[in-house]
């Protein structure tokens, strides 16, 4: 449950003094490839071409009507120089007449993975689909499928692939642009965790590699427990939708779901927690390090107190199992 901003601000000093905040550092640069629909792109005759929207990436973009019986995907091809983790982003113009559930297909090393995007929002900028393990070579990497029950045109404009192999083994749970740094040192209401205030439909990402177990209960709502490669559990709650299957193996930055307001929640946000064994840990310094491009502290070194409002124990969200 996310506390009102005024109440959080008034009480923040009680817990902030107990947290040792980390300084900023710049992350390393990474290799990036952009493919426009005018480049290495293939589509059937069912896909039209338009330059109507000023939010387009280049000279034009491609569009098609939805189809509930066949994929008829348009594909962006790219050369992956080195196998490994890559962040995949898409660019498209947004409009109320475009599809609210467009399936983007990423050809990962383990097979195709579909991520659904609302193309009525977030147009005219790069939108992350997540981080995926891609095989080396030249091939169709990202597709835009017509197979959707959503209404409105599906749009294919441009994709951007950024290699993260050899870089950080971690990722913020939200896009860095989603929130300012100050939100990542907010105390929780009554136990070690954090509530990150973002609107419904914001992509949530794996903070590290691991295996996912789906949560669906009255407290967490829709969410996941990510058991990391370190053996610790990273919990996400209040999703509006999942982006991964139960038991899936994920890499840092891979989309796990879309934020929402399910379960015991008074408004859209992402609840995030870290657990080592049965011990809850304060995630604030872990998240601040990620925001600053630093290697985060080990989960076992994170504090267990000083990150929640002990004076507000009556406003409880049920502890997660």
Torsion angle, alpha carbons of 76, 81, 87, 93, to 10? -30
With tokens 């002990």, the residue in question is: 310
CATH code of 32-163, in short, is 2.60.120.260
Q: Are 241 and 257 in contact (CB under 8 A)?
A: yes
Backbone angles phi and psi of 291, in degrees to 5: -60, -35
Question: What SS3 string covers the chain?
Answer: CCCCHHHHHHHHHHHHCCCCCCCCCCCCCCCEEEEECCCCEECCCCCEEECCCCCCCCCCEEEECCECCCCCCEEEEEEECCCEEEEEEEECCCCCCECCCEEEEEEECCEEEEEEECCCCCCCCEEEEEEEEECCEEEEEEEECCECCCCCEEEECEEEEEECCCCCCCCCCCCHHHCCHHHHHCCECCCCCEEECCCCCCEEECCCCEEEEEEEECCCEEEEEEEECCCCEEEEEEEEEECCCCCCEECCCCEEEEEECCCCCCCCEEEEEEEECCEEECCHHHHHHHHCCCCCCCHHHCCCCCCECHHHCCCCCCCCC
Domain spans in the chain, listed from the N-terminal domain onward? 5-27+169-311, 32-163
Q: In 3D, which of 168, 159, 131, 137 has the Cα closest to residue 253?
A: 131
Residue 8 has pLDDT above 80, yes or no: no
90-101, pLDDT tens digit by residue? 999 999 999 999
How much is the pLDDT for 22? Answer: 39
Measured between alpha carbons, how far is 319 from 206 in angstroms, rounded to an integer? 21
Q: Which residues contact 314 (CB under 8 A, 6 or more apart)?
A: none
Q: At 182, is the pLDDT very low, low, confident or very high (cuts 50, 70, 90)?
A: very high
Q: Which two three-digit tokens encode residue 250?
A: 């994920």
Share of the chain above pLDDT 90, in %: 64
- CATH number, domain 5-27+169-311: 2.70.70.10
pLDDT attached to residue 28: 40
Q: What average pLDDT does range 70-75 have in this prediction? A: 96
pTM: 0.55
- How far apart CA 28 and CA 78 sit, in angstroms, is 23
Residue 19 has pLDDT above 70, yes or no: no
Does the pLDDT value for residue 302 go beyond 60? yes
Using the structure block, give the residue that is written with the tokens 């995030």: 272
Adjacency order of strands within the sheet including 48-50: 48-50, 61-64, 154-156
pLDDT exceeds 80 at position 15:
no
């Amino acid at each position: 449950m996310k506390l009102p901003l005024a109440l959080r601000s008034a009480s923040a000093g009680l817990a902030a003094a107990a947290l040792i905040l980390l300084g900023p550092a710049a992350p390393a640069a990474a290799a990036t490839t952009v493919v426009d629909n005018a480049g290495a792109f293939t589509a059937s005759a069912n896909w039209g071409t338009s330059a109507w929207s000023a939010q387009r990436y280049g000279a034009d973009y491609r569009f098609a009507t939805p189809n509930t019986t066949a994929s008829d995907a348009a594909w962006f091809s790219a050369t992956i120089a080195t196998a490994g983790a890559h962040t995949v982003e898409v660019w498209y113009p947004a409009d109320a007449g475009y599809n609210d559930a467009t399936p983007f297909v990423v050809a990962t090393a383990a097979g195709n993975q579909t991520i659904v995007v609302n193309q009525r929002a977030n147009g005219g900028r790069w939108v992350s689909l997540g981080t995926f393990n891609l095989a080396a070579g030249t091939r169709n990497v990202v597709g835009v499928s017509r197979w959707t029950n959503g209404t409105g045109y599906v749009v294919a404009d441009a994709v951007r692939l950024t290699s993260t192999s050899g870089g950080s083994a971690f990722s913020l749970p939200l896009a860095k642009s989603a929130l300012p740094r100050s939100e990542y040192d907010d105390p929780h209401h009554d136990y070690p965790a954090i509530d990150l205030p973002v609107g419904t439909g914001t992509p949530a990402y794996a903070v590290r590699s691991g295996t996912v177990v789906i949560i669906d209960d009255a407290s967490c709502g829709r969410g996941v427990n990510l058991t990391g490669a370190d053996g610790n559990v990273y919990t996400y709650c209040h999703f509006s939708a999942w982006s991964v299957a139960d038991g899936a193996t994920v890499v840092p930055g891979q989309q796990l779901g879309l934020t929402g307001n399910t379960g015991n929640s008074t408004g859209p946000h992402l609840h995030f927690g870290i657990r080592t064994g049965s011990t809850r840990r304060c995630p604030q310094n872990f998240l601040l390090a990620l925001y600053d491009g630093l290697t985060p502290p080990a989960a076992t070194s994170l504090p267990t107190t000083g990150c929640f409002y002990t004076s507000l124990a009556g406003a409880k969200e049920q502890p997660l199992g």
